[in-house]
Structure 1
Amino acid sequence: MPIWKRNLLVCWFGMFVTGVGMSQIAPVLPLYIKQLGVNNPASIAELSGIAFGITFIISAVFSPIWGLAADKFGRKPMLLRASLGMALVIGCMGFAQNVYVLIALRLLQGVITGYGTACTTLIATQTDKEHAGYALGTLSTASIAGSLLGPTIGGFIAENLGLQNTFFVTGAMMLIAFISTALFVKESFAREHKKTLRMKEVWSVVPEKSLTITLFVTFFILTVALYSVEPIITVYVSQLSKNATHIALLAGITFSASGLANIVAAPRLGKLSDKIGAHKVILISLIAAGLIFIPQAFVTNPWQLMGLRFLLGLAAGGLIPSVNILVKKITPAAITGRVFGFTMSAGYLGIFGGSVMGGQVAAWFGLRYVFFITGALLLINAGWVYLKLYKKMGLMNGREEYE
């Protein structure tokens, strides 16, 4: 097996488990906080929000820092640090004696993250050009699928094995990722700059600043769109189901449908990006995703919603790999880790922002307006991408249209 394929396989598993570890706590948080001694419903809701959101906010801050470390010391050391650290921290959550220890561990989890940044940088820099789209497309399915399937996996483990075992099982999976990384990931790393560039110096050597900002914003809007329904999905499915049972299961499947579709679509659309250009795939995917959001407001049963969420995942599957391909192509190798770190920060902020936006829009305007506003955001972003990215890419060198 070629080295790039072996690296891709190990990184995919590690990023999937990391995604699960970041999000699996969502459905079990209120129950676990109650088990830790908090009985007031308002306090449970407040502390659940803090415990869930703090990991993503702190991750957004530290992701570029770990990207800098990856550029300085190599990507494999960062993979080993993040996977072992998360294995220990997530496992310790199962031993938390009170809710404040749990929140502190969630904060620490955000600090030590960086597995996804190091993986993306490793695959982008160690994979030959003709396979880059496929590799980055395949890798992109891991994080998003792990994040979207995490709540369902966490809920299943909690229901069948107990709340504490949710953390123990996830920690054990991260330990397996650590061992696999140590044994099988190969990296030829040569640091290109002896001097560590400061943040202002990094930005000064980014050749395509406008394109880079456009890609950051696109990644942010995508994750906002995928997670805007998280606060409302159970209530919406309950309304659509009327007297149906297993509402939680139906809601979990509905939320995760886009993640399953993403696994199917992203590698294929990554290959397509190599052939026709990533800028074309981004534009088409944004328009398709925006349009697919709108009919979700008019469905009459959960199965229709599941089908549209699956179609959304197929459309969104073209976005993350295309963003990563373009980031790689327009970024000097010496600062690739830091730029990918900022991309991951945009994603973490999008997860948090999408969850907050969905809840606020639903509270002020109603559940169905979440779909209207999210669809509009994607279509507005498509227009911006066309003006700022698509046209510029079309004017670039015909033989190497991205360079």
Structure 2
Amino acid sequence: METWKLNLYAAWVGCFFTGLAMSQILPFLPLYIEQLGVTDHASLSLWSGLIFSSSFLVSAIVAPLWGSLADRKGRKLMLLRAALGMAIVMALQGMASNVWHLFILRTLMGLTSGYIPNAMALIASQVPREKSGWALGTLSTGQVAGVIIGPLIGGFLADHVGLRVVFFITATLLFMCFLITLFSIKEGVIKVTKANRLSGKAVFSSLPYPALIVSLFITTMMIQLANGSISPILTLFIRELTPDTNNLAFLSGVIAAVPGVSALLSAPRLGRLGDKIGAHRILIAALGACVLLFCLMSTISDSLQLGILRFLLGFADGALMPATQALLLKYSSQQVTGRIFGYNQSFMYLGNVAGPLLGSGVSAMMGFRWVFIITALLVLVNTLHIAWRFRQIPTKP
């Protein structure tokens, strides 16, 4: 079997454990913040947004530095750094005694994150370009499968053994991810000296459509912003919709997980379809579907409706990031692919910062439902922009 295929399968398992580990925590993180002493609604919303965003802000700042190191030492080293670092910091989060401790540890986690983006970049740099949509779509299902199972396990454990225990279980899973990466992924590192590396300006000068690449960076940011804006308020919104529930953490885990089921089904199929008809068409259609579904979520009256709409949202989510990355790969040369994916990673983290801050801020000032409306408007603007940008390309994508 070809090396890139072996790496694809090993990276899939690593992404699965990473997605599983990280998604176990997210559904009940606001409840953990509440347990640490923050009970006021506005304060809880704002602290949730800050704690969700803090690690991503640091990640956005340091991603170019890690990207430079990856050019010289290889992406496998970045995968090992991320997996082991997250395992250690996650265990420490389970020992937090107040909200400031949690905030500081989530900020430190930004120095250790980046497993899944680096796995995507490693596979993208090795896969034959005519199979990039399928390969990246397949790899994304690893994370998605973990995200499906993680909230269910995390919610169940949180209800039955306590919130802190879940952090220690999560740290164990991340250490398993480290071991899988260490022994299974092979990478032939082509060392690039500092003298031979292109400057940032030279990277963009080498691209046939630099403005399109920047627009794709912005699209990556908007995808993460749209998903992240809901994260801090999802559990609190479900509690508002279902005030009498006795298993809020588990119910939140189920509703957080359902998009993953449909994304798992759609990602490789839409990736393969994008290889045939153009990934840009898949991207624009999926963004349009997200706009519609976010608008509908603002009108719901119970948790079942929210679960159904999030299930439908997963079909679009499964296409968004693989399509964007396939387009970045298509419109950049092999010489600069690593740098382009590094820049894209920074925009991804910026979206992860802006999304929770937007969601928590809008929620505190205007209420939960306005989060969905504002998110839909922002995605609509991005959809129109990227569609216009592709119309400027003289040749067919």
TM-score (normalizing by structure 1) = 0.86
Q: 1:309 to 1:51 in 2, by over 3 A?
A: closer
Offset of residue 67 of structure 1: 1.9
Q: Deviations over 1:112-158 (max 9, x none)?
A: 22322321111111112332111101223444665686555433333
Contact 1:269 1:281 in 2 (8 A): yes
Give 1:259's aligned residue. Answer: 260
Normalization by structure 2: what TM-score?
Answer: 0.87
Cα distance between partner residues in 2 of 1:40 and 1:274: 49
Where structure 1 has 5 or more consecutive residues not aligned to the other structure, the ranges are: none
327-336 or 261-270: bigger deviation = 327-336
Aligned to 1:112: 112
Q: How large is the Cα RMSD of the aligned pairs?
A: 2.9
Residue 342 of structure 1: CA displacement?
A: 2.3
Structure 2 match to 1:93: 93
Report the counterpart of residue 125 of structure 2 in structure 1.
Answer: 125
Q: Check the 8 A contact 2:133/2:322 in 1, yes or no.
A: yes
Report the equivalent of 1:158.
158
Whether the 8 Å contact between 1:61 and 1:345 is mirrored in structure 2 is yes
Q: Which moved more, 1:360-369 or 1:298-307?
A: 360-369
- Given that 2:45 and 2:363 are in contact with CA atoms closer than 8 Å, whether structure 1 keeps it comes out as no
Preserved contact between residue 57 and residue 349 of structure 2 (Cα < 8 Å) = yes
Aligned to 2:374: 373
The residue type paired with residue 139 of structure 1 is L
* Gap change, CA 1:322 and 1:220, over 3 Å in 2: same
Q: How does 1:182-331 map to 2 (within 5 A)?
A: 182-191=182-191, 195-241=196-242, 243-331=244-332
Higher RCO structure, 1 or 2 (CA under 8 Å, sep 6+): 2
Question: Counterpart of 1:300 in 2: which secondary structure?
Answer: coil
Q: Which amino acid aligns with 1:166?
A: V
Alpha-carbon distance change, 89 to 230 in structure 1, aligned in 2, over 3 angstroms: closer
Instruction: Give how far 1:8 is off.
Output: 1.6
Amino acid at match of 1:77: L
Describe the superposition over 1:171-210 as per-residue Cα deviations: whole angstroms up to 9, x where unpaired: 2212222221122212233246652344444444444221
Query: Which amino acid is the alignment partner of residue 177 of structure 1?
Result: C
- Aligned pair count reads 394
Structure 2 residue identity aligned to 1:80: L
AA in 2 matched with 1:127: V
Cα separation, 1, equivalents of 2:87 and 2:342: 21
Alpha-carbon displacement from aligned partner over 1:39-72 (angstroms, at most 9, x marks no partner): 4645877665544321111111122221222222
Aligned to 1:13: 13
Conserved? CA contact 2:363–2:370, under 8 Å: yes
Partner in structure 1 of residue 360 of structure 2? 359
Question: Which deviates further from its counterpart, 307-316 or 340-349?
Answer: 340-349
Q: Which deviates the most, 313-322 or 22-31?
A: 22-31
Which deviates more, 137-146 or 109-118? 137-146
Contact 1:66 1:114 in 2 (8 A): no
Whichever residue aligns with residue 196 of structure 2, its letter is K
Deviates more, 1:182-191 or 1:215-224: 182-191
Map 1:52-71 onto structure 2 (within 5 A): 52-71=52-71
Cα distance change of structure 1 residues 147 and 218 upon mapping to structure 2, 3 Å threshold: farther
Which deviates more from structure 2 when the two are superposed, residues 177-186 or residues 187-196? 187-196
**Contact 1:126-1:187 at 8 Å conserved across structures:** no
Q: CA deviation at 1:93?
A: 3.4
Change (3 A) 1:189 1:9: same
Amino acid in structure 1 at the alignment position of 2:283: I
Contact 2:156 / 2:249 at 8 angstroms: preserved in 1?
no
Question: What amino acid is the match of 2:228?
Answer: Y
User: Secondary structure at 1:318's aligned position in 2?
Assistant: helix
> Where do residues 13-52 of structure 1 align in structure 2 (5 Å cutoff)?
13-22=13-22, 24-29=24-29, 39=37, 41=39, 49-52=49-52
Per the alignment, do residues 374 and 29 of structure 1 end up closer, same or farther by CA in structure 2, a change over 3 Å counting? closer
- Inter-CA distance 293–9: structure 2 relative to 1 (3 Å threshold): same
Which amino acid letter does the alignment assign opposite residue 355 of structure 1?
P
Please state whether the residue corresponding to 1:111 is helix, strand or coil: coil
For residues 45 and 303 of structure 2, what CA distance do their matches in structure 1 show?
A: 26
Cα 1:144–1:200 shift into 2, 3 Å: farther
Q: Deviations over 1:233-261 (max 9, x none)?
A: 33433343364543433233223222332
The percentage of counterpart residues that share the same residue type is: 40
Mapped partners of 1:271, 1:228: distance in 2: 29
Letter in 2 for 1:109: M
Distance (whole Å) between structure 1 residues aligned to residue 376 and residue 29 of structure 2: 29
- Select between 122-131 and 182-191 the one with higher mean Cα deviation: 182-191
Structure 1 pair 155/63, CA: closer, same or farther in 2 (3 Å)?
A: farther
**Deviation at residue 29 of structure 1 after TM alignment:** 4.5
Quick check: 355-364 or 89-98, which moved more? Answer: 89-98
Instruction: Report the CA distance between 1:277 and its aligned residue.
Output: 0.5
Q: Partner of 1:342 in structure 2?
A: 343
Deviation at 1:345, TM superposition (A): 2.2
CA distance in 1, matches of 2:385, 2:47: 38
Distance 1:364-1:102 versus aligned 2 partners, 3 A rule: closer
- Partner of 1:12, secondary structure, is helix
Q: Is the 8 A contact 2:21 2:173 kept in 1?
A: no
Moved more, 264-273 or 331-340: 331-340
Question: Secondary structure in 2 aligned to 1:229?
Answer: helix
Shift in alpha-carbon separation, 1:174–1:366, aligned structure 2, 3 A: closer
Q: Is the 8 A contact 2:229 2:358 kept in 1?
A: yes
Distance 1:151 1:360, change over 3 A: farther
Partner of 2:170: 170
Shift of 1:315: 1.5
2:137 equivalent to 1:140: no
Moved more, 275-284 or 177-186: 177-186
1: CA distance, partners of 2:293 / 2:199: 42
